[in-house]
Structure 1
Amino acid sequence: ALGCAILHEPSIIFLDEPTSGVDPISRRQFWDLIYELSGSGVTVFVTTHYMDEAEYCDRIGLIYRGKLIAIGSPEYLKTELMKEDILEVACDRSQDAMDQIGGLPDIKEVTLFGNGLHVVTGNAASAEKSIRNLLAGQNYVVTGIEKVVPSMEDVFISLIEAYDREHQKGIKDGV
């Protein structure tokens, strides 16, 4: 399908989920081709639900419930629009720790991330102290807590939660 799309050398191409169901090697080759097209001056629009793939793009538009809720470079979205901090917590018994950490006052969300946890908070310093105290008091082995750059998935989730909060507020206020 891509071959047919580029045969007549268009100045713009729309690709809808181009790597869905594609193996990792073919996926990489596909993105190399997209970069090559972009480098030659072709504008390439890509839709994807793979947030890690979205980061390959120069600009990203995040669409939620049919509305464009954010647009910008991956770096801009991560640094300017992400209102919360992300702490990566490495400890034993991550699943149990997730439930414990979720009950702390400064914590907005806790999710499993690899062998550890991603903790969303409005105040990284305060949250780190609370997490360390909680886990130490319950004999968890903590091997690290560090503030990390949010992933595109973290950004997207944060933005849709903010959108939903604002939308609910409007409904409650009769807007």
Structure 2
Amino acid sequence: MSMQAIQAASEPDIVIDVEGLTKSFGGPPVVKNLTMRVHKGLIYGFLGPNGSGKTTTLRMLCGLLTPDSGHGTCLGYDIRTQTADIKRHVGYMTQRFSLYQDLSIRENLEFVARIYNLENPRRAAQNAIARLGLENRADQLAGALSGGWKQRLSLGACILPAPELLLLDEPTAGVDPKARRDFWDEIHKLAHEGMTVLVSTHYMDEAERCHEIAYIAYGELLTHGTVEQVVADAHLSTYNVTGPDLADLADRLKTLDGVDMVAPFGVELHVSGRDGEKLDAATAALRAQGPQIWTRGEPTLEDVFIDLMSRTKDNYA
């Protein structure tokens, strides 16, 4: 066993411990010098724009991709030399539905159970069907399911062998709000039972349901921690602006030094700056003359997300 694996084994609450991961596919790095540590039983959220390296990171962690440089462990196993061991203990739900369209829910789950050599495949499949509320659809063909039901089936297949770590790559894209909420309720139950979950998402309400989050932009990890820590570390001062002509106001604000982020949220604007004094000075005249109403606000996770996006550049641009 490698020294890294020995160290991780001595800290049983550390599920992922990697340092300096870098990966490219013939061009600029898709992941660049990424270091992270994840504790057991956490729901850890990956945020970032499309092409930012989230999927590549997940695949390196579970042994599907070998990093160009960097090292570390997943579940105590070396991510370079012990990938077969990692794969036996990880459930990975990809962005694209990957089960058999022409098999029923029950047949798909029984097939997966046999692949993993579970002792009683029929019983294992039935338990997953019951847990995820699929009883009424158990004999329906997977190809005829809606997005939300396919999502439940995929999750059922992932958790059949009782993995210690669950990797979810944008699992709720394209499903309705109730299906998303039901899915997340199940994820929290799994975490409560001791499973560690890494999930990539673009939905701010989902990110706020994670115990910790990490923001990755074009291969680099820019910030991580609890939602509260990430928002506080952004040091954004924010105004909420209501009233007439907000579109014209937004265009004016974007030209002002000291205004770093302007974003419409429903019937108001969020106006933020990384330097509170510069923001106040830049907006003083507009706040005094109206006709809009300016009130102090607290920055949201979405404000931070937009601000981070504005500060990063696509490594292929």
TM-score band, normalised by the shorter chain?
Answer: 0.7 to 0.9
Where does 1:115-126 land on structure 2 (aligned, <5 Å)? Answer: 115-124=267-276
**Pairing partner for 1:155 from 300, 304, 308:** 304
CA distance in 1, matches of 2:199, 2:166: 8
Q: Mean Cα displacement is larger for which, 92-101 or 125-134?
A: 125-134
The one-letter amino acid of 1:101's match is: L
Q: CA deviation at 1:5?
A: 0.9
Q: CA deviation at 1:75?
A: 0.9
Q: CA deviation at 1:159?
A: 3.3
* Secondary structure at 1:49 match in 2: coil
Task: Check conservation: 2:215, 2:224, Cα contact below 8 A.
Answer: yes
- Residue matched to 2:144: none
Q: CA deviation at 1:31?
A: 0.6
Q: CA deviation at 1:145?
A: 1.7
Matched, 1:43 2:193: no
Matched, 1:94 2:246: yes
Per-residue displacement from partner, 1:15-45 (whole Å, max 9, x unpaired)?
A: 1111111101111100100111111111011
- Residue matched to 1:145: 295
Matched, 1:65 2:214: no
* Secondary structure at 1:107 match in 2: coil
Q: Percent identity?
A: 37
The one-letter amino acid of 2:160's match is: L
- Residue matched to 1:11: 164
CA distance in 1, matches of 2:213, 2:164: 19
Q: CA deviation at 1:67?
A: 2.1
CA distance in 2, matches of 1:20, 1:118: 26
CA distance in 2, matches of 1:97, 1:160: 22
- Residue matched to 1:27: 180
The one-letter amino acid of 1:52's match is: D
Aligned residues: 161
Task: Check conservation: 2:214, 2:224, Cα contact below 8 A.
Answer: yes
CA distance in 2, matches of 1:160, 1:133: 28
Larger Rg, first or second structure (1 or 2): 2
* Secondary structure at 2:235 match in 1: coil
Task: Check conservation: 2:287, 2:293, Cα contact below 8 A.
Answer: no
**Pairing partner for 1:104 from 256, 259, 271:** 256
- For structure 1, list consecutive stretches of 5 or more residues without a partner in the other structure: 168-175
Q: CA deviation at 1:161?
A: 4.2
Task: Check conservation: 1:87, 1:124, Cα contact below 8 A.
Answer: no
CA distance in 2, matches of 1:61, 1:122: 20
Query: Kindly tell me: are residues 30 and 63 of structure 1, through their superposed partners in 2, closer, same or farther at Cα, counting changes over 3 Å?
Result: same
The one-letter amino acid of 2:209's match is: Y
Query: Kindly tell me: are residues 61 and 91 of structure 1, through their superposed partners in 2, closer, same or farther at Cα, counting changes over 3 Å?
Result: same
Q: Give the TM-score normalised by structure 1.
A: 0.79
Higher normalized helix content (fraction of residues): 1
CA distance in 2, matches of 1:135, 1:73: 33
Q: CA deviation at 1:125?
A: 5.8
**Pairing partner for 2:231 from 70, 78, 88:** 78
Query: Kindly tell me: are residues 62 and 127 of structure 1, through their superposed partners in 2, closer, same or farther at Cα, counting changes over 3 Å?
Result: closer
